[in-house]
Structure 1
Amino acid sequence: MDFLIGLLVLAAIVAGIAFVVKRAKAAAEVRRAEQLERDLAPVKRLADEDVTALGEELQDLDLELAGRTLNEGERADYQRALDAYEAAKAAVPAVKKPDDVKHVTEILEDGRYAMACVQARVAGKELPQRRPPCFFDPRHGMATEEVAYTPPGGAERDVPTCALDAERVRAGAEPDIRKVMVGSERRPYWNGGPAYASYAGGYFGMNMLPMMFMGMMIGPGLGEGIGALGEGLGEGIEGIGDGVGDMFGGIGDGIGDMFDGFDF
């Protein structure tokens, strides 16, 4: 009889532990989903602003081409730019995780190159070499050159840049940097946090990121990400510990009450 009671108690303990762990895991999943939504919202908004910027540039291009009959190559590149704009506009609402943003900025980068091809064809020039966008703000369009840039607290590195920002850097002035809000502070997008890595990856290619952003994007942003991850793990472990402690306390009280009726 005592052996059977012991088995029942053990089964209750195992079932209780499984229930507490499952509940803690579900709570952790909810917290992760909420944190993902908070991290993703500003990056998604940034990509949406870039889509709007491309649309405005296409309107300007349309005015440039007004009254002109396009040849086959000009028409194909212009249509490619229009298709890229429509595809990027449709892709933004479908973004569900940071990696999805990369697809949006890849499309935008392709659209801007198509526009540059149209302009070159119309001007009777050779098609431009495909280059990454301006490092300081991808909305500036394709880079025209590389300049040595030293970010505050970082190391010097060569980055692709537009002509205006290259001129600013050489003059010792601050380039026109795309900045984002992180809490109450405005920071360059590359210091916005890990979620912005995908945004940059679509423009510059994931292979280029280590060279261009080492010590910048993965500096304070990565530290904050690791800190948040550690805090979340700590809360999850604490929740499991509290739940298991409460469970064992209840089981202990129940076992004590059960054995009060037995003489040993």
Structure 2
Amino acid sequence: MSGFLTMLMVMMVVGAIVSMTSRRSAPPPRQLHGWGDPYGPPQQIHPAVGYPQPYGQPVHPITPGTRAALDTDITTFGGELRDLDLDVVGRELDAAAHADYTRALDAYDGAKNQLQRAQTDADVRRIAEILEDGRYAVACVKARVTGQPLPEKRPPCFFDPAHGPSTQNVRWAPPGGAVRDVPACAADAQRVMTGHDPSIRLVPMGARQVPYWENQQYAPWAQGYYGRYGTDPALRQITHGALMIGGFSLLLGLFDD
């Protein structure tokens, strides 16, 4: 009997040691920055594919197309920052303008660094959010140094979010679609109102180049740019009801009702 008890105790000790060892060797959950704040504290997100994420969608690996789109956006934003340097050279920036300038530079560095580590469509959304915030900061710097009112916090230009913040809504219809209000940058608003075609962001789909909203692969990229503007009437008009056509469905799930 005593031999049986001794063997039982040995088995329990060995089991406890194995359990502790396996817990120590388990990889920690991956860390991503908190949603809605490009510079907020990290939150822990399990890396497994299929784990629910903001916008009610599962995680999928980043695609070459969305990685290339973000890389292009970051390069374009870097050019905008160089242009901003020329706009403010010789001007003394007050504290508010300096803070906006710093925020724009931080957004560029943050987006570039996060793209190097990006693995999932959740990362794609995150980087697009950072770029959207950085472009608004650039617009604020320009307004401050020229003595203009600060720009309204509006969605990015619908035709290409890399155009920066929209300045107004314009009435526009895609080929074969219904007329609707869409947020547009100043240049595209002028084009549409004078009867010309807007400068639409084209992306590859097979052997063709199509507007980004026609390729579902770019949904996380679009959602990152527009996801903060769930109450904007123009965007809701695009993504809901009878006005939604064809590829605009990639923005469905963007907003919580």
TM-score grouping bracket, smaller chain normalisation? 0.5 to 0.7
The partner residue of 1:176 within 195, 199, 208 is 199
2:247 maps to a residue whose letter is: M
Q: Does 1:51 align with 2:77?
A: no
Q: Does 1:105 align with 2:135?
A: no
TM-align CA RMSD:
2.1
2:224 maps to a residue whose letter is: G
1:168 maps to a residue whose letter is: R
The partner residue of 2:118 within 95, 99, 106 is 95
1:210 Cα shift? 5.1
Gaps of 5+ in 2: 1-48, 50-59, 252-257
Distance 1:72 1:111, change over 3 A: same
2:238 maps to a residue whose letter is: M
Kindly indicate whether the alpha-carbon contact (under 8 Å) linking 1:138 and 1:203 is maintained by their aligned counterparts in 2.
Answer: yes
Higher helix share: 1
Could you say which residue in structure 2 is the equivalent of 1:196? 218
Could you say which residue in structure 2 is the equivalent of 1:159? 182
Could you say which residue in structure 1 is the equivalent of 2:238? 212
Gaps of 5+ in 1: 1-28, 30-35, 223-264
Distance 1:59 1:126 in 2: 23
Over residues 72-98 of structure 1, what are the superposed CA-to-partner deviations in whole Å (9 max), with x where a residue is unaligned?
A: 111111001100110011111222122
Q: Does 1:185 align with 2:208?
A: yes
Could you say which residue in structure 1 is the equivalent of 2:141? 118
Q: Which structure would you say has the larger RCO, counting Cα contacts within 8 Å and 6 or more residues apart? A: 1
Matches within 5 A, 1:79-94: 79-94=102-117
Could you say which residue in structure 2 is the equivalent of 1:66? 89
Kindly indicate whether the alpha-carbon contact (under 8 Å) linking 1:190 and 1:196 is maintained by their aligned counterparts in 2.
Answer: yes
Matches within 5 A, 1:226-241: none
The list of structure 1 runs, each at least 4 consecutive aligned residues, that deviate by more than 6 angstroms after superposition, is none
1:64 Cα shift? 1.6
Over residues 169-225 of structure 1, what are the superposed CA-to-partner deviations in whole Å (9 max), with x where a residue is unaligned?
A: 2333221100001000110011111x3121111211263665324324355x79xxx
Distance 1:95 1:158, change over 3 A: same
Could you say which residue in structure 1 is the equivalent of 2:32? none
1:45 Cα shift? 0.6
Larger radius of gyration: 1
Distance 1:42 1:199 in 2: 10
- Give the 3-state SS of the residue equivalent to 1:90 in structure 2: helix
1:139 maps to a residue whose letter is: A
Over residues 28-87 of structure 1, what are the superposed CA-to-partner deviations in whole Å (9 max), with x where a residue is unaligned?
A: x9xxxxxx66x7110111011101111110011012222222211111110011001100
Distance 1:43 1:69 in 2: 39
Distance 1:99 1:139 in 2: 19
Kindly indicate whether the alpha-carbon contact (under 8 Å) linking 2:238 and 2:248 is maintained by their aligned counterparts in 1.
Answer: no
1:187 maps to a residue whose letter is: V
Kindly indicate whether the alpha-carbon contact (under 8 Å) linking 1:197 and 1:217 is maintained by their aligned counterparts in 2.
Answer: no
Higher strand share: 2
- Give the 3-state SS of the residue equivalent to 2:93 in structure 1: coil
Distance 2:142 2:64 in 1: 34
- Give the 3-state SS of the residue equivalent to 2:209 in structure 1: strand
Distance 2:173 2:122 in 1: 28
Distance 1:217 1:105 in 2: 20
Distance 2:186 2:137 in 1: 19
The count of residues paired between Structure 1 and Structure 2 equals: 185
Distance 1:168 1:111 in 2: 25
